Amino acid sequence: MNGQLEALQQEALAALTAAQSLTETEAWYHEYLGRKGRLTAILRSLGQLSKEERPLVGKRANEIKEALEQALKQRQESVAAEEIQRTLAAEAVDVTLPGRRPILGKLHPTNQAMREMVEILKQMGFQVFDSPEVETDDYNFGLLNFPPDHPAREMQDTFFTTRPNVILRTHTSPGQLHAMRKYAPEPIRVILPGKCYRNEDVTARSEMMFYQIEGLAIGHRITFSDLKGTLLNFANQMYGEGRKIRFRKSYFPFTEPSVEVDVDCILCGGAGCRLCKQTGWLEILGAGMVHPVVLKNGGYDPAVFSGFAFGMGIERQAMLKRGVDDIRLFYSNDVRFLARV
């Protein structure tokens, strides 16, 4: 009987060492020490032994029981510790892995260019003046000296509304009248940035909705030289020191004389390339001396006051400066474009 007990103990201890998890030690407990365990069965059968044998075998069986219980406790402790080690290893964080770069928002390319232009002009003493995107026919055309049925109106394909005479402004120039009428007869230096609309076919060069920035200076002895100096300074700050500008005669009903202004090509410096179509020049804006009729409509006496005005497309400046060749990219919400420019 004792030999049987010793063998059981050896077997049990070996099996316990093989148990790799708490679940396996539980199973081991049931196998040997539990209610239906093999050692328990032996202990229960002690009654069948002879009087002489019973105390000896009983004592040994109880010793083995205690030894196994002790061994179980130790094994469970080390298995639990191993399990914690395994979990920690599995959940380990590699602190040397580079983090994921957060996607940051940024200013829209139009707003970047607009702010840059506003900053440059502010330094020259221009103040931002807000004026509406929805205009009357009068402000957009009539007061700006467009005669009724004048073909110049067709230069600008207008979006009309269901209300008579109410239109979406086709340029920022109507803001000139709002500013003049607010401040006349004080001298003014204002810029008017904002959205404009033209009912045009959308192409790489023209959108139905775009931004312009208008400049207007009115005072007692404002001359064409002031316009020239202002625009040269602007071009140098916007497109780089040493830039040249050139004036070409043009026509706008609200300025006289009127000019279109070019800057020497920022890509080739004037030698001729694809960007400037081999001309060496890039058109950046329209400008001129404020027409006497417009001064009068604004509340200034043309005999006493003179002024200059200019207007330019904001996307166009952004395109030239950042090498964008299609204006449609600005409002097609392609994140790759928005992130790059």
Interface ranges with ligand PHE (CB under 6 A): 171, 173, 214, 252, 255, 286-288, 309-311
Judged by beta carbon, residue 171 or residue 189, the one nearer ligand PHE is 171
Quick check: 307 and 325 in contact, CB under 8 A? Answer: no
Say whether 213 sits in a helix, a strand or coil. strand
Q: How far is the CB of 215 from ligand PHE (least distance, A)?
A: 8
Peptide bond into 151 cis (omega under 30): no
Judged by beta carbon, residue 9 or residue 156, the one nearer ligand PHE is 156
> What is the rounded CA–CA span in Å between residue 37 and residue 56?
21
Give the residue from 60, 78, 88 showing the smallest Cα distance to 2: 60
Say whether 272 sits in a helix, a strand or coil. coil
Give the residue from 192, 203, 219 showing the smallest Cα distance to 135: 192
Judged by beta carbon, residue 230 or residue 255, the one nearer ligand PHE is 255
| Residue nearest ligand PHE, CB atom distance | 311
Measured from the Cβ of residue 159, the count of other Cβ atoms closer than 10 Å reads 14
Q: How far is the CB of 258 from ligand PHE (least distance, A)?
A: 6
Retrieve residue 163's tokens. Answer: 């209300």
Say whether 274 sits in a helix, a strand or coil. coil
Quick check: 305 and 220 in contact, CB under 8 A? Answer: yes
Judged by beta carbon, residue 64 or residue 314, the one nearer ligand PHE is 314
Judged by beta carbon, residue 109 or residue 174, the one nearer ligand PHE is 174
Judged by beta carbon, residue 75 or residue 171, the one nearer ligand PHE is 171
> What is the rounded CA–CA span in Å between residue 178 and residue 143?
11
Q: How far is the CB of 185 from ligand PHE (least distance, A)?
A: 21
Query: What is the 8-class DSSP label of residue 60?
Result: H
Q: How far is the CB of 310 from ligand PHE (least distance, A)?
A: 5
Judged by beta carbon, residue 25 or residue 258, the one nearer ligand PHE is 258
Query: What is the 8-class DSSP label of residue 203?
Result: -
Q: How far is the CB of 95 from ligand PHE (least distance, A)?
A: 58
Q: How far is the CB of 186 from ligand PHE (least distance, A)?
A: 20
Measured from the Cβ of residue 318, the count of other Cβ atoms closer than 10 Å reads 24
- In order, the DSSP letters of 286-313 are EEEEEPHHHHHHHT--TTT-EEEEEEEE
> What is the rounded CA–CA span in Å between residue 58 and residue 133?
104
Q: How far is the CB of 173 from ligand PHE (least distance, A)?
A: 4
Q: How far is the CB of 263 from ligand PHE (least distance, A)?
A: 16
Judged by beta carbon, residue 173 or residue 297, the one nearer ligand PHE is 173
Retrieve residue 323's tokens. Answer: 């090498």
Judged by beta carbon, residue 31 or residue 260, the one nearer ligand PHE is 260
Q: How far is the CB of 94 from ligand PHE (least distance, A)?
A: 59
Instruction: Compute the 3-state secondary structure of the chain and give helix, strand, coil in percent, each to the nearest 5.
Output: 45, 20, 35
